[in-house]
Amino acid sequence: MKINDSIEILKGVGPKTLKLLNNLGIFTIEDLLYHYPNRYEDSSKILKLNEGVPGEKGTFRCRILKNTQDRRIRKGLYISTFLIEDETARASLTFFNNRFIGKSIHYGEEYLVYGRFERFKGLIQISSPEIERLSEIKNIGRIRAIYPLTQGINNNLLEKLFAQVLPLNLFENKLPKDLREKYGLMEKNMAIENIHRPSNRKAYIRARNTLIYEELFFFELSILQLKNNNIKDSGIKFEIHDEVFDLIKNLPFKLTSGQEKVLDEIFKDMEEGKAVNRLLQGDVGSGKTIVTVILSYIAKLNGYQSAIMAPTEILASQHFQSFRSLLESRGVHVRLLVGSTPPKIKEEILNALKNGLIDILIGTHAIIEENVEFFNLGLNVIDEQHRFGVIQRKKLQEKNRSAANIVMSATPIPRSLSLILYADLDLSVIDTMPMGRKKIKTLSINSSQEKDALNFIGQELKNGRQAYVICSLIEENENLENLEAVEDVYEKLKSFYKDFNVALLHGRLTGQEKNQVMEDFKENKIQLIVSTTVIEVGINVANASVIMVYNAERFGLATLHQLRGRVGRGSYQSYCILYNKSKTEISWQRMKILTDSQDGFYIANKDMELRGFGDILGTRQSGLPNLRLANPLRNINILKYAHEDAGKYLDENNNTINIFKNESKKLNL
């Protein structure tokens, strides 16, 4: 068996199970081994029923005597209760929505019961437990890993699969031996074994530290390699002509001090002919686009072309319009190249580009394709960079290695951290918002307030404003009870707002259809868009004053903040309505973070605390090593060591290792 083999070869994985495991992202043996538990049940400490601590979870060894209750309380809530006892007390064991549990219980036998311990009026209750029949447990006193699951895959099945692969020690030790010894880390296979089947607490902690360090070490190694790739003695020397200041003077607004500061920083490097590799951060709506309009005008005046890459066609064509409206009258030739550009036009663009007839090419990843050749590329801009992979960034940058590089992101992370995570980039931050912006009034509502919210939106439409209504994507096999499908909401709102034009926008439309909808929305031919998150990034329509998000509980906070940033872009008082269909405490806490704050920095930090890091940095799609356990924010100390060690390692090995070698193939680029 090899690490890349399909999990099909394991006992217990038939076609049906295979599909379910695939849904969990598990395709190969390696994926399986990297499917880490999200928590553990510690049966190494077994309590007596009279030792339980109210409100806390614990493991108890008891007999299940009989079934005492089995009934539906209300729609969606089914309760089953059992009487249990040990030598110290009797208690009741309560399961929610697990109506067949009773069938599998062997009454009178001993079980290990792990669950929340409560005391009501002297009665002990253990709720939402996991139970295991004692006679079936191989070694009592172990720590049991509990995994993220999906319907049809239970913990036992995963344990059986792990039992087949863990003993084979399939991983190589990639981490250099001296580093392993320096920090007293485990060998890889031993660490993997102990993350899945910890022999004791100490071993678990060592295993975890080992894997966190390893993740961060290879993460840093790849970042530093990128940096080394970028290091060039010098870049293009740009002159900043008077025309540039004339453009700035004639903008429809005055630049904010944050924008001016950032421009100063970049101008300085450009004039000195330094290599420009810069991360431009600024909260949603801080005005990053105009900075790049100005920079690409500089490039043009110096005889260079610019490439602007955005993650969606909608955003690309919006940029296309902004750039054109500001620069075309100044003799700058701007073109748009996206996936849906017709082949004939594409060919014409490619020719013109090669011959230097186009000054600024704006597009999606269509512009990094092999056959896109520039005459003399001088500036690369990547917008919403967290949506792109490192490799895509490299692809663009390699079109001309001395061109200036600006990557933009609305995701603010602490400076200390970005210096390490984006070690290959200098950092500029737009830390002010344009004047006259009103605070976006944000509120979270439940289902009893939906009608009010819709009426409110109707009022805004009557006042001449426009609105967005966002629905989450529904994946196949999801329980639909609490979910609003975008098509249903569209039908509902179309008949609710009879006097207005309502349009549906979602990922399955072609690029052209999407653009048409956005175009019509901009021109106010459409007043309300019902959409999935395709409008999440960048969209800018100043007349839109309300955004309402259905099933807001399903979105990350950073995404909600981005969505909210679609309104409040002009001078109108704007509103964001978060329709939370979940009743859980945590979901309301999350909503509160957004209703309390408009500070993207604060929100991103909260999001990282609640959801971990991968999502926010976009490392999942970035092509950088995955961070599964490590959280750079929480593990900042380990990160610092990993950063240092990776640097030394590269020096000692003369930068000869290239860990991106195989990545391009994997990503199909």
Question: What own/partner pairs with CB < 8 Å and gap ≥ 24 does 513-521 have?
Answer: 514/313, 514/314, 515/313, 515/314, 515/317, 518/314, 518/317, 518/318, 521/466
Among the residue ranges 70-78, 203-211, 282-290, 330-338, the one whose residues contact ligand ADP (CB under 6 A): 282-290
Q: Which of ligand ADP, Mg ion, none does residue 58 bind (CB under 5 to 8 Å by kind)?
A: none
Mapped onto helix, strand or coil, the DSSP state of residue 305 is strand
Q: Where are the alpha helices (DSSP H) in 231-312?
A: 242-249, 257-272, 288-301
Please give the Cα distance from 579 to 366 (Å, whole number): 36
Minimum gap (Å) between residue 288 Cβ and Mg ion? 5
Minimum gap (Å) between residue 622 Cβ and ligand ADP? 20
Residue 394: its H or E element: helix 390-397
Residues in a beta bridge with 143: 42
Which 648-667 positions form the footprint of ligand ADP (CB under 6 A)?
none
Q: Which residue is nearest to ligand ADP (CB)?
A: 287
Minimum gap (Å) between residue 386 Cβ and Mg ion? 12
> Which residue of 210, 289, 312, 428 would you call a contact of ligand ADP, by CB under 6 A?
289
Among the residue ranges 22-30, 154-162, 279-287, 467-475, the one whose residues contact ligand ADP (CB under 6 A): 279-287
Please give the Cα distance from 271 to 7 (Å, whole number): 56
Task: List CB contacts of 532: < 8 A, sequence separation 6 or more.
Answer: 470, 471, 472, 473, 486, 505, 506, 507
> Which residue of 235, 287, 614, 618 would you call a contact of ligand ADP, by CB under 6 A?
287
Q: Contact letters (x/-) for Mg ion, 489-528, by CB under 5 A?
A: ----------------------------------------
Select 410 or 577, whichever has its Cβ closest to ligand ADP. 410
Q: Which of Mg ion, ligand ADP, none does residue 282 bind (CB under 5 to 8 Å by kind)?
A: ligand ADP
Minimum gap (Å) between residue 284 Cβ and ligand ADP? 5
Structure tokens at 664: 């391009």
Strand 110-120, strand 123-133: pairing: antiparallel
Q: Which of ligand ADP, Mg ion, none does residue 170 bind (CB under 5 to 8 Å by kind)?
A: none
Q: Which of ligand ADP, Mg ion, none does residue 245 bind (CB under 5 to 8 Å by kind)?
A: none
Please give the Cα distance from 560 to 552 (Å, whole number): 8
Q: Does 292 bind ligand ADP (CB under 6 A)?
A: no
Residue 93: its H or E element: strand 90-96
Q: Does 317 bind ligand ADP (CB under 6 A)?
A: no
Q: Which residue is nearest to Mg ion (CB)?
A: 538
Select 365 or 522, whichever has its Cβ closest to ligand ADP. 522
Among the residue ranges 24-32, 159-167, 288-296, 439-447, the one whose residues contact ligand ADP (CB under 6 A): 288-296
Which 238-277 positions form the footprint of ligand ADP (CB under 6 A)?
253-256, 259
Q: Does 285 bind ligand ADP (CB under 6 A)?
A: yes
Least Cα distance to 628 among 36, 75, 68 occurs for 36
**E runs forming strands in 506-618:** 528-531, 544-549, 575-579
Q: Does 284 bind ligand ADP (CB under 6 A)?
A: yes
Contact of 536 with 512, CB cutoff 8 Å = no
Q: Does 325 bind ligand ADP (CB under 6 A)?
A: no
| Residue 410 burial (CB count, 10 A) | 24
Minimum gap (Å) between residue 343 Cβ and Mg ion? 29
Burial class (CB in 10 A: 0-12, 13-18, 19+), 456: middle
Among the residue ranges 256-264, 465-473, 515-523, 536-544, the one whose residues contact Mg ion (CB under 5 A): 536-544
Q: Which of Mg ion, ligand ADP, none does residue 290 bind (CB under 5 to 8 Å by kind)?
A: ligand ADP
Number of residues that bind ligand ADP (CB under 6 A): 19
Which residue in this structure is represented by tokens 């704006």?
362
Q: Which of ligand ADP, Mg ion, none does residue 28 bind (CB under 5 to 8 Å by kind)?
A: none
> Which residue of 258, 311, 538, 568 would you call a contact of Mg ion, by CB under 5 A?
538
Which 560-589 positions form the footprint of ligand ADP (CB under 6 A)?
569
Select 291 or 504, whichever has its Cβ closest to Mg ion. 291
Q: Which of ligand ADP, Mg ion, none does residue 197 bind (CB under 5 to 8 Å by kind)?
A: none
Please give the Cα distance from 644 to 633 (Å, whole number): 17
Q: Burial letters for 311-349: b for 16+ Cβ neighbours within 10 Å, e otherwise?
A: bbbbbbbbbbbbbbebbeeeebbbbbbbeebeeeebeeb
Q: Contact letters (x/-) for ligand ADP, 368-407, by CB under 6 A?
A: ----------------------------------------
Among the residue ranges 270-278, 281-289, 516-524, 604-612, the one whose residues contact ligand ADP (CB under 6 A): 281-289
Amino acid at 500: F
In three-state form (DSSP H/G/I as H, E/B as E, the rest C), the secondary structure along 481-505 is CCCCCHHHHHHHHHHHCCCCCEEEE
In eight-state DSSP terms, residue 12 is: T
Minimum gap (Å) between residue 463 Cβ and ligand ADP? 20
Q: Does 282 bind ligand ADP (CB under 6 A)?
A: yes
Q: Contact letters (x/-) for ligand ADP, 505-544, by CB under 6 A?
A: ---------------------------------x-x-x--
Question: Within 13 Å of residue 407, how many CA atoms lie on the same side as its CB?
Answer: 21
Strand 277-282, strand 123-133: pairing: unpaired
Contact of 36 with 194, CB cutoff 8 Å = no
Q: Does 412 bind ligand ADP (CB under 6 A)?
A: no
Among the residue ranges 124-132, 296-304, 534-542, 572-580, the one whose residues contact Mg ion (CB under 5 A): 534-542
Q: Does 290 bind ligand ADP (CB under 6 A)?
A: yes
Contact of 229 with 223, CB cutoff 8 Å = no
By CB under 6 A, name the binding residues for ligand ADP. Answer: 253-256, 259, 282, 284-290, 410, 434, 538, 540, 542, 569
Residue ranges in contact with Mg ion by CB under 5 A: 538
